[in-house]
Amino acid sequence: MEVLYFAWVRDRVGTAREQIDLPDSVSTVGELAHWLASRSSGHAAAFRNCELLRAAVNQEHVPFGHPVAAGDEVAFFPPMTGG
Amino acid sequence: MIRVQGVDFEPGAEIDKLLHGRTAVGGVASFIGVVREDPRGPALRAMTLEHYPGMTERMLAAIEQEANRRWNLSASLIIHRYGRMVPGDRIVLVVTAAPHRQAALESCQFLIDWLKTKAPFWKCEETEEGEQWVEAQVRDDVAAAKWQTEPAAN
């Protein structure tokens, strides 16, 4: 699975994207966020408060209860500030 | 039509090109978003817009499609820039053309309200005090939410 990070989420994690092997215990975006948080202190800082984060699966906005699968592209980012 | 680009755009030329040959158009509305300095804050040197390539184009196309479903439009255009810009630089252009003004004006506001909360862009400000990511504004969510319930007039 490809995981992408944007804006301050990327700053805290320390990388813009990473390839991960999805563990069997992870089946939703929220569970993925929880699992990613344990990978490093940077990840922990990024995922400390998931209420501040938004997610997309395969480039579509999704809630944290949305399912994830091995081939998905999952992105985590703060609320958008375009325009 | 949507475009995501690093370089500046010329609004007049873009509008002329969009309207070329469209004789059923009775009104054109446009919105230009510009890099703004907050007079109460530290001096703004630059602003960098980051985006999610691929998803940005998908979201802008979906938002434009929704505007065309709600209003009777002759043509529409969204141009959004990314990269480093300085105060006064243009960031975004929205143009809507319709047989009548109400559809053009309403859909233009709808597009800019929706893209602020749905298109994956993030602003990072550079000031003399350092760099800081701009936080999303509750008022932007409120502006976007009003279009969820308000029926389109035309």
Please tell me the distance in Å from B110's CA to the nearest CA on chain A. Answer: 12
The residue of chain A nearest to residue B82, with distances taken between CA atoms, is A82
At residue A78's C-alpha, the angle toward residues A76 and A79, to 5°, is: 120
Distances in Å between the Cα of B84 and the Cα atoms of A8, A38, B53, B120 are 17, 33, 16, 16
Residue B152: which pLDDT band, with cuts at 50, 70 and 90? low
pLDDT, averaged across chain B: 94
Chain B positions touching A61 (Cβ under 8 A) are 118
- Per-residue pLDDT of B76-102, as tens digits, reads 999 999 999 999 999 999 999 999 999
What value of ipTM does the predicted structure carry? 0.94
Chain A positions touching B115 (Cβ under 8 A) are 82-83
Subunit contact A83:B33, Cβ cutoff 8 A: yes
Please tell me the distance in Å from B113's CA to the nearest CA on chain A. Answer: 8
A8 touches chain B (CB under 8 A): yes
Decide which of 2.60.40.1730, 3.90.1170.40, 3.30.420.10, 3.40.50.410 is the CATH code for B2-149: 3.90.1170.40
Interaxial angle between packed helices B55-70 and B101-118, expressed in degrees from 0 to 180 and rounded to the nearest 10? 150
Question: Domains in chain A and their CATH numbers?
Answer: 2-77 (3.10.20.30)
A77 touches chain B (CB under 8 A): yes
Percent of chain A with pLDDT over 70: 100
Is pLDDT above 70 for B151? no
